[in-house]
Amino acid sequence: MFSALPDLPEDAILRLMALYRDDPRPAKLDLGVGVYRDADGRTPVMGAIKAAEQRLCDTQDTKSYVGLLGAPDFAAAITSLVLGDDMAARTACAATPGGTGALHLAAELVAMAAPGAAVWLPDPTWPNHAGILAHCGRSVRHYRHAAPDGRFDAKGMAEDLRAAAPGDVVLLHGCCHNPTGIDPDADEWAALAAGLAERGLLPLVDLAYLGFGAGLAADAAPLRVLAAHCPEMLIAVSCSKTFGVYRDRVGALLAVAPQPATRERTAAALAHLNRLNFSFPPDHGARAVTLVLEDDGLRVQWHDELEAMRRRIAGLRAALAAGLRQAAQTDQFDGIAAQRGMFSRLGLKPEHIRELRDRHAVYLVGDGRINIAGLTDDVIPTLCRQVADVLHR
């Protein structure tokens, strides 16, 4: 039977991880997979999470099942983090295995509620978006996200969404767009929210980098703007980066539905889908996150650690943009300083990307995306020379 299995496409980002691991050159540089790294190249467990896990270990007296939607206090803590306290009463929430689990659940919920609705994705976007939606049988369309000048393409997006039908779903990156680092500004968010509401389009926000853009409050602001305009919306929250709990698989799908009867119906559908997919969602990481959010001291500690990560990335962005301008004698990289979050695209041609890997052991994704957190102040001058070298050969 198994020999009949089809050839399946590999994930380019995960393939790059393996190529990097197998490269014997000592001076190799991994700018591929989107995992935060500190100045020593490590992805440490956050101190606040370690403390919460310790407390959990000391006090947890059962590992019996929780509930199909996960622990209610996790739902309350995440909803209030993302949308504010006042929205908790208007939102159904299901804990999921990571943000990917939340996206998968969203796709299934849409399939159940509106099987004919198309899901519109930004072009470009995280490759798994199209993969998960197609896997769940959704019809996928695309809208322009980034203009050639490296700014958010509000006009192109609005033009493309003219072809959307009422009830269609529009996927948005809540902050720190992956792979471009290009986000709408506050005015653009307000116009976008009003436009979606007017057209009867449902926002599905992928929130995987909360706190990595302009700070926790600023990064969450667009969600509140959307919630103020749109009667219903979905938010796929990933705690992987924001709490550094990647492998513990912590996430949640929030469904804003102000009508109590609709909200209860939605919560029942989410519980049903979780049950048929994997039954109870993982609890350990979610509980550690809840402890951090509920304890004043741990919350301050976590926020400080998150801010340190955000500031490190912002500093690397400024240094890289300045270094590339000087080394390559061009302003084509200036946008990197203003872009947000873990990623930017260098706008290099495929042959440049291949040369960087073959000649200099520098690993970036095939679309030219780099993980800024993979840099250190020490490697930036060398990288800038190497980029200039492949550009000018």
Residue numbers 246-285 binding ligand PLP by CB under 6 A? 246, 251
Cis status, amide bond into 124, omega within 30 of 0? yes
Q: Pick the catalytic residue from 153, 206, 219, 283.
A: 206
Task: Give the span between the Cα atoms of 321 and 32, in whole angstroms.
Answer: 18
Is residue 94 within 8 Å of 270, Cβ to Cβ?
yes
Question: Under DSSP, is residue 218 helix (H, G, I), strand (E, B) or coil?
Answer: helix
Residue 156 tokens, joined: 């192109």
Least separation in angstroms between residue 11's CB and ligand TYF is: 4
Residue 333's Cβ-count burial label (10 Å; 0-12, 13-18, 19+) is buried
- Does 98 bind ligand PLP (CB under 6 A)? Our answer is yes
Closest CB to ligand PLP belongs to which residue? 98
Please say which residue, 298 or 362, places its beta carbon nearer to ligand TYF: 362
304 is catalytic: no
- Does 100 bind ligand PLP (CB under 6 A)? Our answer is yes
- DSSP structure string for 198-213: HHTPEEEEEES-TTSS
Question: Under DSSP, is residue 173 helix (H, G, I), strand (E, B) or coil?
Answer: strand
Residue 381 tokens, joined: 């001058």
Q: Which stretch binds ligand PLP (CB under 6 A): 93-101, 164-172, 259-267, 276-284?
A: 93-101
Tell me which residues touch ligand TYF (CB under 6 A).
11, 13-14, 33-34, 126, 128, 178
219 is catalytic: no
Q: Residue 387 carries which side chain, given as an amino acid letter?
A: V
Site map (CB under 6 A) of ligand PLP, residues 108-137, x = contact: ------------------x-----------
Question: Residue 206 binds which one of ligand PLP, ligand TYF, none, with CB within 5 to 8 A depending on kind?
Answer: ligand PLP
- Does 386 bind ligand PLP (CB under 6 A)? Our answer is no
189 is catalytic: no
Please say which residue, 36 or 227, places its beta carbon nearer to ligand TYF: 36
241 is catalytic: yes
Residue 17 tokens, joined: 């991880």
Least separation in angstroms between residue 35's CB and ligand PLP is: 8
Least separation in angstroms between residue 292's CB and ligand PLP is: 16
- Does 143 bind ligand PLP (CB under 6 A)? Our answer is no
Q: Pick the catalytic residue from 102, 236, 241, 283.
A: 241
- DSSP structure string for 286-318: HHHHHHHHHSHHHHHHHHHHHHHHHHHHHHHHH
**Residue 118 β-bridge partners:** 139
Is residue 343 within 8 Å of 179, Cβ to Cβ?
yes
Residue 214 is classified by DSSP as S
Q: Pick the catalytic residue from 48, 208, 227, 327.
A: 208
Instruction: Provide the pairing of β-strand 233-238 with 251-256.
Output: antiparallel
Please say which residue, 74 or 126, places its beta carbon nearer to ligand TYF: 126
Residue 3's Cβ-count burial label (10 Å; 0-12, 13-18, 19+) is exposed
**Residue 93 β-bridge partners:** 254
Residue numbers 168-187 binding ligand PLP by CB under 6 A? 178
Least separation in angstroms between residue 13's CB and ligand TYF is: 4
Please say which residue, 82 or 324, places its beta carbon nearer to ligand PLP: 82
Active site members: 126, 206, 208, 241
Site residues, ligand PLP (CB under 6 A): 34, 98-100, 126, 178, 206, 208, 238, 240, 246, 251
